[in-house]
């Protein structure tokens, strides 16, 4: 990238690399103010627009980008936190385009509304990589997408439930399911919900009691489960579309005296496979967590290097993911990276 950042970035972006600071002394404290950073023009400048900080998965994903796009690896990184605001994310991309950065990587909060923003980025000459969730735009509008197959993740959760019920001889019982969904309009929510609903539709004895939004956060997961427990008491399965919402739902059930997990009444099904989920699977609190891999920055770096070398780039790049359960969590916990 050429030149200095605008006031927008000084206020809202964390700029990693050769960022200067001015120390301003007051009576008892020292205030550190960011100065406009000077970039090393020999490096590749990447703007990374993150969704926010809604989950531990997201923190792992942010750290992965920050640790990958370093000066030592040949990059100036401009990290922008979307603060869970789709509008803020779009404004950030427009501003990065105006700054003529080399690459813009977006982890979009929601799929909608990206077309004009991507056009603006293309006009600026920046290459755009979509990471994690998807955008509802023609694939010609960006270089490529890297992330998870959310629909397959939803199917895998349902398949695990199917085999668990069979193992327990409960395959013909009426099964009442509660679903706590992620952020409305996010690919992770859309795909997982579709996969889960397709599995529910396959079984005439599986009843979806209610779906509630928990916005991928622990607090909202607890609140959603509190509301569910006010309304329903005969619950066989709780599915949350990420681990943090499950942690919140478990707190809610504990407070209400509802037992769950391997020794309880409620079967607990989750997504992400965070380290804490492994600990809770070992304890038998969570029964399965379908992996969603946040460590995708290395693949984004490879795309940039290949693109700069004139190699052909695949439009869609799926990351590898597994399914972990209370039965195999102890075997894998030590090798987990997030
Ligand atoms: O888009 C990936 C999802 O977003 C993860 O499942 C969730 O934890 C995150 O916040």
Q: List, for residues 232-277, the tens digit of each pLDDT value.
A: 999 999 999 999 999 999 999 999 999 999 999 999 999 999 999 9
Split at pLDDT 50, 70, 90, the class of 13 is: low
CA–CA dist 308, 73 (Å, integer): 15
Q: Please check the confidence at residue 144 and state whether its pLDDT lies above 60.
A: yes
- For residue 326, how far is its CA from the centre of ligand 1 (angstroms)? 21
| Mean pLDDT value across residues 293-301 | 98
* pLDDT for the residue numbered 38: 63
Q: Please check the confidence at residue 7 and state whether its pLDDT lies above 80.
A: no
* pLDDT for the residue numbered 162: 98
pTM for the structure as a whole: 0.90
Query: Which atom of ligand 1 has the smallest separation from the CA of 272?
Result: 6
Q: Please check the confidence at residue 55 and state whether its pLDDT lies above 70.
A: yes
DSSP 6-69: PHHHHHHEEEESS--EEEEE-SS-EEEEEPPPPP-TTSEEEEEEE--SSSHHHHHHHHHHHHHS
Q: List, for residues 105-117, the tens digit of each pLDDT value.
A: 999 999 999 999 9
Of residues 25 and 101, more confidence is placed in 101
* pLDDT for the residue numbered 37: 57
Q: Is 271 in the pocket of ligand 1 (CB under 6 A)?
A: yes
DSSP 173-187: S-EEEEEEE-STT-H
Give the residue from 164, 193, 158 showing the smallest Cα distance to 179: 193
Q: Is 153 in the pocket of ligand 1 (CB under 6 A)?
A: no
Q: Is 189 in the pocket of ligand 1 (CB under 6 A)?
A: no
CA triplet 317, 320, 321: central angle to 5 degrees? Answer: 130
| Environment class of 234 (CB within 10 Å of its CB; exposed 0-12, middle 13-18, buried 19+) | exposed
- The rounded mean pLDDT for the chain is 91
Q: Please check the confidence at residue 23 and state whether its pLDDT lies above 80.
A: no
CA distances in angstroms from 86 to 54, 92, 108, 274, listed in the order given: 13, 10, 8, 25
Sorted by sequence, the CB contacts under 8 Å of residue 162 that are 6+ apart come out as 171, 199, 203
CA–CA dist 116, 122 (Å, integer): 10
Segment holding 229, helix H or strand E: helix 218-231
Q: Is 54 in the pocket of ligand 1 (CB under 6 A)?
A: yes
| Mean pLDDT value across residues 218-240 | 98
| Mean pLDDT value across residues 2-30 | 39
Q: Please check the confidence at residue 22 and state whether its pLDDT lies above 60.
A: no
Q: List, for residues 193-219, the tens digit of each pLDDT value.
A: 999 999 999 999 999 999 999 999 999
């Amino acid at each position: 990238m050429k030149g200095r950042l605008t006031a927008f970035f000084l206020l809202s972006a964390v700029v990693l690399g050769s960022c200067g600071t001015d120390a301003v002394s007051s009576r008892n404290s020292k205030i550190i103010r960011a100065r406009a950073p000077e970039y090393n023009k020999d490096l590749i400048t990447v703007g990374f627009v993150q969704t926010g900080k809604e989950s531990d998965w997201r923190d792992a994903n942010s750290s992965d980008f920050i640790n990958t796009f370093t000066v030592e690896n040949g990059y100036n990184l401009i990290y922008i936190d979307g603060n869970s605001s789709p509008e803020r994310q779009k404004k950030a991309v427009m501003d990065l385009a105006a700054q003529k950065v080399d690459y813009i990587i977006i982890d979009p909060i929601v799929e909608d509304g990206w077309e004009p923003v991507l056009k603006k980025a293309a006009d600026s000459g920046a290459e755009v990589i979509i990471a994690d969730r998807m955008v509802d735009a023609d694939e010609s509008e960006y270089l490529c997408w890297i992330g998870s197959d959310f629909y397959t993740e939803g199917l895998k959760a349902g398949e695990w439930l199917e085999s668990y019920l069979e193992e327990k001889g409960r395959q013909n019982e009426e099964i009442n399911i509660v679903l706590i969904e992620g952020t409305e309009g996010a690919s992770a929510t859309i795909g997982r919900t579709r996969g889960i609903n397709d599995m529910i539709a396959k079984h005439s004895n599986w009843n979806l009691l209610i779906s509630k939004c928990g916005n991928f956060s622990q607090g909202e997961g607890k609140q959603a489960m509190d509301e569910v427990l006010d309304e329903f008491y005969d619950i066989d399965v709780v599915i949350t579309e990420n681990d943090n919402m499950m942690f919140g739902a478990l707190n809610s059930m504990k407070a209400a005296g509802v037992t769950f997990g391997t020794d309880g009444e409620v079967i607990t099904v989750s997504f992400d496979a965070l380290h804490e989920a492994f600990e809770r699977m070992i304890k038998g609190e969570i029964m399965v967590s379908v992996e969603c891999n946040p460590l995708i920055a290395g693949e984004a770096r490879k795309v940039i290097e290949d693109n700069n070398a004139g190699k052909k780039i695949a439009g869609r790049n799926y990351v590898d993911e597994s399914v972990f359960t209370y039965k195999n969590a102890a075997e894998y916990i030590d090798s987990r990276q997030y």
